[in-house]
């Protein structure tokens, strides 16, 4: 009895090589356990983007947007402490996830 050739075997090996290469060639592909995160710009983000940050719910996101519209753009991330309900602990949790430019 003749054995049939398994044409998928070479393809699965090629797939493993392609995925491995992509992890090394795509910047940030392995950061955060494989989830490439883009920093949220607190000067342009809407409430939906802001609520994607840990510890920022709808009311804090709305407060950030309102503060920004009343006082202008943030010069530094630490200026978020001027927003009611946002303290240094919150900023420390999200510091690596936010930017001002």
Give the burial class of 41: count Cβ atoms within 10 A of its Cβ; 0-12 exposed, 13-18 middle, 19 or more buried.
middle
Q: What is the pTM of this model?
A: 0.64
Round the average pLDDT of the chain to a whole number and report it. 81
Is pLDDT of 13 > 80? Answer: no
Q: Where are the domains of the chain?
A: 1-29, 40-99
Answer for the pair 40, 99: CB distance below 8 angstroms, yes or no. Answer: yes
Please compute the mean of the pLDDT values over residues 9-26 and round it to a whole number: 57
DSSP string covering 57-76: -HHHHHHHHHHHHHH---SS
Q: Quote the CATH superfamily of domain 40-99.
A: AF1531-like domain (1.10.150.280)
Determine which helix (DSSP H) or strand (DSSP E) holds 40, and give its type and residue range.
strand 40-41
C-alpha 80/C-alpha 74 separation (Å) is 8
- pLDDT the model gives residue 30: 45
- pLDDT the model gives residue 38: 79
- Please write the tens of the pLDDT for every residue from 59-80: 999 999 999 999 999 999 999 9
Q: Is the dihedral of CA 69, 70, 71, 76 positive or negative?
A: negative
């Amino acid at each position: 009895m003749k054995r049939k050739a398994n044409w998928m075997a070479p393809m699965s090996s090629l797939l493993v090589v392609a995925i491995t290469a992509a992890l090394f060639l795509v910047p940030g592909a392995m950061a955060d356990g494989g989830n490439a995160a883009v920093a949220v710009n607190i000067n342009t983000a809407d409430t939906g983007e802001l609520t994607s940050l840990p510890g920022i719910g709808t009311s804090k996101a709305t407060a950030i947007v309102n503060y920004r519209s009343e006082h202008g753009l943030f010069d530094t991330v630490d200026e978020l402490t001027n927003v009611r309900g946002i303290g240094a602990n919150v900023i420390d949790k999200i510091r690596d996830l936010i930017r001002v430019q």
